[in-house]
Structure 1
Amino acid sequence: MDLALGAGQQVPHANIKEEAQASILGLKQERNDLSLSKPASNDFSKLKPKVINKERTARCALNSFKSLLPQISNISDDIPVFQQFQEEIEEICNLEEIARVSVGIFGTTGCGKSTLINTLLGEKKYLPTSAMEASTSVIIEVAYNKSDVPEQQLCAEIVFIDQNEWQDEIRHLHQDVVYEFKNSKEGEIIGTNPDSLTAQAMTKLAAVYPDLKAEKLAKMKVKDVLKINPLSDVLGKITTIHEPRSNINKFHKRIKAYTDSGNSSCKASAYWPLVKLVKLYLKCPLLATGLVLVDLPGLGDSNSARGNVALNYMSSLDHIWIAADIVRAVDENIAKELLGKSFKRQLAMDGKCSAITFIMTKIDSVVPQEIIDSRGLSSTSLKSELGQLRKLDKERKRVNDQLQQESKESKSNKRKRSDSTSPCQQSQSDTEMTTSERLKNTFKQLSQQRNDLNTLITKKCIDERNTYTQARISEQYEQGFIELDEECIREENDSLPPILQDNLPKKLNIFCVSSRAYRKLKGWLPMNQEFPAFNDLDSTNIPNLRDYAIGLARGKNGRIVENIITRYNILRPKLIAWAVKQDIDIPLSLNQIIDLRQALNTGLGEFRKACEKVINKLITNMRSTNTRKIGNGIVKIDLAKWIEDTILSEEFSIIQMPVGTFKATLRRDGVNIKKGRKTINWNNAFADLHLKPITKPWKDIFQNKMVELHDACAQELKRHLHEFSVSYQKSLLEHDYMPGIKLIDEIPFLEPLICEKVERARIVFNTHARKTRQAVEPMMKKMMLPIYKECLQY
């Protein structure tokens, strides 16, 4: 705030000063209304023009400061005020980096997720689809490529697991093989059952060590296995791949070499068991918004390193998309079963209930009659169309019968005319041909009408199924949180109203899309594949999903845009005040200057003290709230109830669990992930038992109470700022001192900054809270490891 008061200093380099002064005065020509009001609607399609306008405004502000920065830098060493100008401009320019908005996508087997991602990216194949469909698929992160080098338009980073991670993986696999070998009958060849632990272990190990056999492995030690192929050139390393845009097929093949597990006949060592993560950097407009797509097929991956990466991603994602085949989504209760109770608890505690989006794929896969029968459409919305269809079928049959009869008579008459062709007979033949052609044309027209009507019926069936599925998925999703709420209420044994449901989205985001129809319309599929129910790109809903994704990115980056505009509006008047002499060269006596400075220092001192009190009050309230609500919610676990909720529960299933599975889970430190089966995670279940009593108070504190406390803090800070403004304005009433007036004019622009900084503090606090919650499961694992090892001895 001292910038304007010290603006009358002399510049030793007059010409440089004049250049800077001219550039600064250029700011005066720019429009003043850079700060735009915050839109009230959440509908991206309505917000789009305003959002784009605001982004352009922020871009203009950044460009203005970037052009000014070199001139200010040249004289900042000589003038203290310019050093501060330079620092503020550099801080604003550093805000240019767009925020990363991560969207994790996972789904059921065969739901077409890989095709969906490639379609959204606008390419036939960016991602290696075969790897994504395999049980050993890796995690793939897709972000924007900032490089302008033509040879690097396509970039990939292959991240390998390190030595310790691979050693742990071999240890688990080795233990599986040894266990089956010890329990096999004499002469029995282990690993012949493809579903056995040994077969699954050898699939991975044989890929890296092609000559290694199960019987030989069972008699080896882990350190001996590692000596076969040290893999020092791969483990813990990152391999980078670059290709120009024109070599996309080559780029795809090079990635596939690291991720494809399908070529089991290859005698050379394969890389896919060692790959932890693949990062793709692409020149895609969708990604230019800051959107990062994270493909998470590894949520059911038995590779512990990849599983850990997947879990880490899940906890840090901004949004989660769940893809499911629309044909099976409702029957498989995807919204309730795929998101387990523990995962829903995490969403509730982290305040991410509304971060879930469901993507129903393969809406082009439709059998109209099945939908008509199941939804009773023959007597409702499709009654008229089905009636027309029956009439057309009858008419087609009548015309076809006439055509067949005409054909028979024509052949008979042709035999009779074979010996002689009089003019009269020739005329009769022409008439028969005319009748036959007329019938064929009629039949062709009726067939076309039937096809058009069938397409219309198919469209209506698709729309009906989409509407029904969206309603049922929403119900299932909400029901899952209702059950979690009821459990929390039973756990606390109180009569408090449910709060987990309070922050559920009023309308769950559910998209029903057809990637194949979109790709067909784009000319990416063979000509023999037809999707007549989809006559334009919009009918596939892919463009809607893409706009929605862009909206998610712009929503998060909107705060950065607002911050740029606000800080521009604060700094711009300071710069202009320095450059415009008539604003600063106002004669004041020494006493007047001393009075103004004293009034300013007094006001600032009172403002700082008031701010400290407000912040200390916030901290005190946060601590007392946490202690009262969460601390009191942590109770001693009832052992009998604990056994019922764990050992005898469905999550553990220890009583019904086969001995082999039980031992395998112990060997894997309490986590057993098998393809096509429910994941066993004892550590997560143990953690869930501790988190269950505090779920509701935790959610109430971090998603409700903390918001209230921080909002109240921001309002108090703004009130004290206003009081300072009023107090200092009284000092300016006696003197028409323009720098002081301009300082007062800056204060309204400081209010958004206060709100932004308080909100950032709340977000940081919530981030630490989320990390605290996430630390419970690793802590439970650490505590249980000695017990797991002891149980393995029996």
Structure 2
Amino acid sequence: MSSTISEVSPAQFIGQQSNIDIDLEANDRLSGADGQDGEQTSKTGGANAEQDPTSTMVKAEESGVSTLQTVPAIPSDMGLKQHEGSPEKKEEDKAVGFPVSDLTPQPENITLNSVKHAADAADLLKLEAYIEMAGQVLGAMRQPMADSKQRDEQDWLRRIDALETKSRRLRTVVAVAGATGAGKSSLINALLDEEKLLPTSGFRACTAVITEISYNESDDPKKAYRAEVEFISQEEWDSELKLLHAELVEDKQLSSAYLDTNAEAGIAYAKIRAVYPDLTHEMIIKSKVAELGKRDVVANVLGKTRKITCSNARDLYTSLQKYLDSKDKDTKGGPRRENDMAFWPLIKVVKVYTRASALETGVCIVDLPGIHDANAARSAVARKYMAECNSVWIAAPIKRAVDDEAARKLLGMNSRLQMKLDGIYSNVTFICTMTDAVQVEESLEAFDEDGQIQAIFAREDDLEKMIGSKKEFIDQLSKQVADGDVAYQELARELEVWKGLQKKQKKGQPVYPPQVPSKRKRATAPTKRRRRPEVVVDDSDEDDTVGRNPLTADEISSKLTDLEDKVMSNDAECEDMEKRLQTLKDELTALEGEKQDIAVESRRQCILKRNAHVKQAIRVDFSNGIREIDEAGIDDENFDPSIRQRDYVQYQQLRMQTKRETRVEGFRNLTDSEIPLLQQHAIKLPEQGRIHVYRTFLHDFYGLLCSLTIWADSSLLERNAQAMSEHDQSYEVKSMQAACSNMKQELNLLILKNKTDLNTIIRNGFHPKSNAAITSAGKDVLDVVSKWPIKKDDGGYGIIFSTYRAICRHQGSKTKSEKSRDFNEDILEPYLKKIAGSWDQAFGNSIPTTLDALVAAFAHELEKFHDTMSSRPELEKCKMASLRMLGQQITNEVKKFQDKVTDIKGTIQGQQREASRAFLPEIQKQMLKAYTLVAQEKGKGCFVRMKEHMIVHVRKNKTAIYRKATNRVMDELKKIFESNLKKLQKEAHEIIDRLEKDYTVVISSSEMIEASAVAREHIRSVLLKVEAQFKEIEGPEPMEVDPAQPSESEPQQLADASMADVGATAGEAAEPGLTGEDIAMDTVL
């Protein structure tokens, strides 16, 4: 009997019992008593007996938790011979004494390895799939907790809700800048695959209004295109209207320059007349600014936002024209009324939403008219976008890029200085537009170093000669064919005449030789010969035959034979000539087609070679521009601003076949225009940022799942471990809480040290440069101020009296006049030149490195805490499995803190941009007294007094101007460091609090109430499925390949290497500093 029992495994024993309720608590008591036999009872019910015979439902109860496990049934032929209820079986059970752990079905373990791997994925598509799956999991977990009153469940619900609502979209702002007429709007239309969405006519409104284009999230076809027109506030308009009126009205009359659209007075007149079309000149002079600003028709739009929805782009374009059109409304000859007002001077920004694929990843394109708008509100908005932008695209006609030092002149010194302070000068993309406007002869001289274009032209000349020669042959042969055709017709006519004579002769009629008719004129062009010529009957009358002998049958037959031979010979010759003529025509067509193709190719090669030349020239020029700022310079080989040539006209013609447009030659397909490359560039811009956002979310998600696993599964994790007494639990919890409290104190010290380190970076790295910059700028600024009114021929800026005063009225800000300058920027420039390099070093390198050190220090504290808790004897003995899971949680919390620090780095970078822009308003504030004195000057000799006011003020306050500007910015930086370190401190404390809660759950084993048990069981059921769900997205693991054995992938690697070589060759040369994208682009071209 015992030998039989010894052959029965516990699994077989369980499998033979189709329905068993196992009381784990009873089993624990039985197995825990020394010398006592285990006891097992079984109950079989009718309902249970009807279940699937291939599985067993097992109810496990422990510490108040009830779980149901489905255990696969074991086939009955596994060696177990005893019946379940037999006395012999019970006796054998007692004799053998199976351990309860052998008889109890093991609960399925929760694993989260795939979620952990998902949080570290680099594939964007997989990350998006993981994010979608995580959202489904969160939705499933929150269901049983939604109406719960239990505190712990409400805590979990808050964490789930916070994670669900956490933004996973990333906004990447691209500022598109460029001079008027550079083609920015047309470029953006092509980028969006729209023929006409933004205004492109180049009139005033197009260049004055900031336009933001973002992705439209609406799926409603009726709202496929949306726009929001945001107007300036009442206060902003009152302030601008006051300036406009002052510039337009002088000594109670309109300025003499009010019709000059390039002068301040002319611009002011255009704006006032646009908003108040009913005002006459006399009314403008006598009007009060406060009353004009309060007009109902104007006040009704100020501070408001008008929303527009359309189903197509053309309707949206038409709707926007109502707000952007600067042309006077047609009043049909009548007087203009108040309601005929134009809106464009009052618009702050226009936001357009469209479902263009180039914007789908989160790119926001901002068409900037320039940060020096005469409208103060728009200028502020433009500066805001420049501070926020992640990338800058500078559009310029390629001819200007060839002729000028485009990279420097297009931006201006102050713009380049600001970009260096912002840390985005490496994110500049120059877009050369209008690349199809090329002068072939100029390109031949300037860019055809390898003779490729010359070879094309030589071939074109050869083709021209061949075509001319071929045409001559065709003309000659055509004449021969025409002559042959005439001869054929004559012979055929004569043959028919003789055949008629033969018929008459056979009928017994006398016939005579026909009279020879006059020759017909040769056809001017070859015609196809008639194979059945008209029948000519001999119509000689009797008088014509007098004295002539009739023809004999032999004579007629001989003549017919001779004529038939001639006709056949002539026909063969004509057939041969026609074949040769058709061959010549085919050859001519082929030559003309080749000539047409080669003409396009010659223009194309001129375009491509000029593009390649301009790319390298702009790279060098931009690098030289940075050297002007930073004496240390930039390595040409390592610095590579992205250069792209784009032709939106060609692209739109190829893409949309625009009606009524003359087709421009030079591009063969969409790729040649490089617009598709620009679209892909836009799509990829947010890629790294999106990966970071998704990973951050998944790290939070994984941490939440770990905590929920500990909460729902801690008792099962330690089911085979020794239980801790209540006294030990209380003692260990207190010890853990004390350790957490100590860790918070250590963290506070780390934060304080980090704050000190950051301030030291500014104090040691920036302050010395700043002090030297103040001294240097103080010496240079007088020269700058003196040059403003000096003529350009004499080395000055050539600012005339009216413009000088208008600038001072605008408190030193640039006006719309072409010759205007920003006085505040000019004063700030010599100072920024000296501090830009150290500023860039501090925020681009030193500060991020210091923050990374904080992450490492905090990670060390967390690991030290976990090692301390894991080494405690009671926990090591009773909670080892749970401690291992907590170790994984510690690792993930470090990653989450790293994610937070990465976010903080981005926040500091954005905030330091704002701080660096505080230099300018402080300069303006310190110069306000001088601007006020200058603006008030009138009468004879006022320009001399204006210049004197400016010089005296700057000479007296030059050091104070820069010192106060520096102090203001330093105060801003201190606030930035303090606020962001507080955020990091809060995040670290929250991490410690979460860990404290997880450790408490692990250490404590208090009884759970029924409501919690239901929620835990539901959470556990969801968590059990997560691994498989994420594993399915992850896909099969890559097969391990023995490095000693040849791999099938090796040929592919060789192919890739050869492709790289071909790419470099096709691109002519892998220039120093070129990115892979640039080489690929050159290869395509």
Please indicate, yes or no, whether the TM-score normalized by the shorter chain is above 0.5: yes
What displacement does 1:533 show?
4.6
Aligned to 2:365: 293
SS in structure 1 at match of 2:900: helix
Aligned partner of 1:31 among 114, 125, 131: 114
How far did residue 613 of structure 1 move? 1.9
Could you tell me how far 1:640 is from its partner in structure 2? 5.0
Q: Deviations over 1:318-366 (max 9, x none)?
A: 2111112223213132211111111111111121111211112233333
Match of 2:44 in 1: none
Structure-1-length-normalised TM-score = 0.86
Q: In the alignment, is the contact (CA less than 8 A) between 1:157 and 1:279 conserved in 2? A: yes
CA–CA separation in structure 1 for the residues paired with 2:744 and 2:799: 64
Query: Following the alignment from structure 1 to structure 2, what is the Cα–Cα distance between the partners of residues 728 and 202?
Result: 78
Mapped pair 1:469 → 2:591: no
Q: Does 1:329 align with 2:380?
A: no
Residue 560 of structure 1: aligned partner: 693
In structure 2, the residue matched to 1:220 is 287
> Are residues 1:84 and 2:167 paired?
no
* Structure 1 CA distance for aligned equivalents of residues 712 and 893 of structure 2: 22
User: Does structure 2 retain, via aligned residues, the 8 Å contact 1:27–1:572?
Assistant: no
Shift of 1:259: 0.8
Pairs aligned (count): 745
- Is 1:153 equivalent to 2:215 in the alignment? no
Distance, in Å, in 1 between the alignment partners of 2:689 and 2:580 is 70
Residues 1:642 and 2:725 aligned together: no
Alpha-carbon spacing, 1:68–1:96, altered in 2? closer, same or farther (3 Å): farther
Over 3 Å counting, the alpha-carbon distance change for 1:156 and 1:36 in structure 2 is same
After superposition, residues 232-251 of structure 1 pair within 5 angstroms as: 232-243=299-310, 245=311, 247-251=312-316
User: 2:206–2:324: 8 Å Cα contact kept in structure 1?
Assistant: no
Secondary structure of residue in 1 paired with 2:699: helix
Match of 1:588 in 2: 724
Q: Equivalents in 1 of 2:850, 2:224: separation in Å? A: 47
Q: Distance in 1 between matches of 2:180 and 2:232?
A: 25
Gap change, CA 1:474 and 1:215, over 3 Å in 2: farther
**Residue 756 of structure 1 pairs with residue 899 of structure 2:** yes
Report the AA paired with residue 592 of structure 1.
D
Match of 2:888 among 745, 766, 770: 745
Residues 362 and 87 of structure 1: is their aligned pair in 2 closer, same or farther, counting only changes over 3 Å? same
Contact 1:607 1:720 in 2 (8 A): yes
> By how many angstroms is 1:192 displaced?
4.1
Partners of 1:572 and 1:503 in 2: CA distance: 49
1:322 partner SS: strand
Does the aligned pair in 2 maintain the 1:25–1:576 contact within 8 Å? no
- 8 Å contact kept, 2:387–2:910: no
Mapped contact 1:190–1:214 kept (Cα < 8 A): no
Match of 1:42 in 2: none
Question: Equivalents in 1 of 2:790, 2:897: separation in Å?
Answer: 47
Greater Cα shift, 426-435 or 324-333: 426-435
The higher-RCO structure (CA 8 Å, 6+ apart) is 1
Which residue of structure 1 lines up, in the alignment, with residue 348 of structure 2? 276
What is the CA–CA distance in structure 1 between the aligned matches of 2:668 and 2:857, rounded to whole Å? 57
Distance in 2, Cα, partners of 1:27 & 1:450: 73
Deviation per CA, 1:233-257: give whole Å up to 9, x if none: 11111111122x2x43222211111
Which piece of structure 1 moves more, 120-129 or 383-392?
383-392
Aligned counterpart, 1:105: 176
Give CA deviations for 1:102-146 in whole Å, capped at 9, x if unaligned: 111122333322122122222222223336775653111112223
1:107-122 matched pairs, under 5 angstroms:
107-122=178-193
Structure of higher CA gyration radius: 2
The residue type equivalent to 2:809 in the other structure is: R
Partner of 1:521: 654
Comparing 717-726 with 733-742, greater Cα deviation is found at: 733-742
Cα displacement (A) at 1:33: 4.5
Other-structure match for 2:321: 256
User: Superposition pairs for residues 251-400 of structure 1, below 5 Å?
Assistant: 251-263=316-328, 265=330, 267=336, 268-377=340-449, 380-382=451-453, 384-400=455-471
Offset at residue 749 of structure 1 (A):
0.9
Opposite residue 746 of structure 2, the aligned amino acid is: A
Give the C-alpha shift of residue 772 in structure 1. Answer: 2.1
Match of 1:492 in 2: none
Counterpart amino acid of 2:114?
Answer: R
Q: Give the counterpart letter for 2:634 in structure 1.
A: Q
When normalised by structure 2's length, the TM-score is 0.64
Aligned-pair CA distance for 1:774: 0.9
The offset of 1:661, in angstroms, is 1.6
Q: Which shows bigger deviation, 146-155 or 410-419?
A: 410-419
Match of 1:205 in 2: 272
Residue identity matched to 1:467: A
Please, which of 549, 566, 569 is the counterpart of residue 682 of structure 2? 549
Q: Specify whether residues 749 and 655 from structure 1 end up closer, same or farther in structure 2 by C-alpha distance, changes over 3 A only.
A: closer
Displacement after TM superposition at 1:714 (Å) = 1.2
Change (3 A) 1:222 1:31: same
CA distance in 2, matches of 1:522, 1:641: 54
Partner of 1:715: 856
Q: Does 1:178 align with 2:249?
A: yes
Q: State the partner residue of 1:489.
A: none
Shift of 1:471: 0.4
> C-alpha distance in 2, partners of 1:679/1:407?
71
Instruction: List runs of 5+ in structure 2 lacking aligned partners.
Output: 1-61, 68-106, 491-518, 522-532, 534-562, 943-1085
* DSSP 3-state at the match of 1:176: helix
Identify if the C-alpha distance between structure 1 residues 634 and 449 changes in structure 2 by more than 3 Å, giving closer, same or farther.
closer
Q: Please name the residue that 1:19 is paired with.
A: none
Equivalence map 1:383-782=2 (5 Å) = 384-407=455-478, 419=520, 423=567, 431-486=576-631, 498=632, 501=634, 506-526=639-659, 529-530=662-663, 533-580=666-713, 582-583=716-717, 587-635=723-771, 636-637=774-775, 641-648=780-787, 656-674=798-816, 677=818, 679-731=820-872, 732-782=875-925
Q: Which amino acid aligns with 2:389?
A: L
The 10-residue stretch of structure 1 (462-471 or 503-512) with the greater mean CA deviation from structure 2 = 503-512
- SS class of match (1:130): coil
After superposition, the Cα gap between the structure-2 partners of 1:38 and 1:90, relative to the gap in structure 1 and judged at 3 Å, is same
Match of 2:240 in 1: 169
Q: 1:658 to 1:26 in 2, by over 3 A?
A: farther
Q: Which amino acid aligns with 2:348?
A: K
1:209–1:228 CA contact under 8 A, matched in 2: no
RMSD (Å) for aligned C-alpha atoms: 3.3
- Stretches of structure 1 that go unaligned for 5 or more consecutive residues are 1-7, 16-23, 40-49, 487-497
Q: Which moved more, 1:475-484 or 1:310-319?
A: 310-319
* Superposition deviation, residue 530 in structure 1: 3.6
Q: Distance in 1 between matches of 2:373 and 2:482?
A: 69
Q: 1:321 to 1:91 in 2, by over 3 A?
A: same
**Whole-angstrom CA distance in 1 between matches of 2:797 and 2:204:** 33
Structure 1 residues 139-181: Cα deviation after superposition (integer angstroms, max 9, x where no partner) = 1111222334443332211111122222222222222222387
**Alpha-carbon distance, 1:722 to partner:** 1.8
Task: Quickly say closer, same or farther: Cα 1:399–1:503, change in 2 above 3 A.
Answer: closer
**8 Å contact from structure 2 (residues 236, 377) kept in 1:** yes
Cα offset, 1:770, TM superposition: 2.4
Deviates further, 422-431 or 230-239: 422-431
Match of 2:3? Answer: none
- What one-letter code is carried by the residue in structure 1 that aligns with 2:298? L
1:1-12 correspondence to structure 2 within 5 Å:
none
Corresponding letter in the other structure for 1:201: A
Change (3 A) 1:657 1:530: closer
**Given the alignment, which residue of 143, 154, 161 partners 1:70?**
143
SS in 2 for 1:301: coil
Shift of 1:716: 1.3
Counterpart Cα distance in 2 of 1:570 and 1:234: 50
Distance of aligned partners of 1:569 and 1:391 in 2 relative to their CA distance in 1, 3 Å threshold: same
Give the Å deviation of 1:706: 0.6
- AA of the residue aligned to 1:712: A
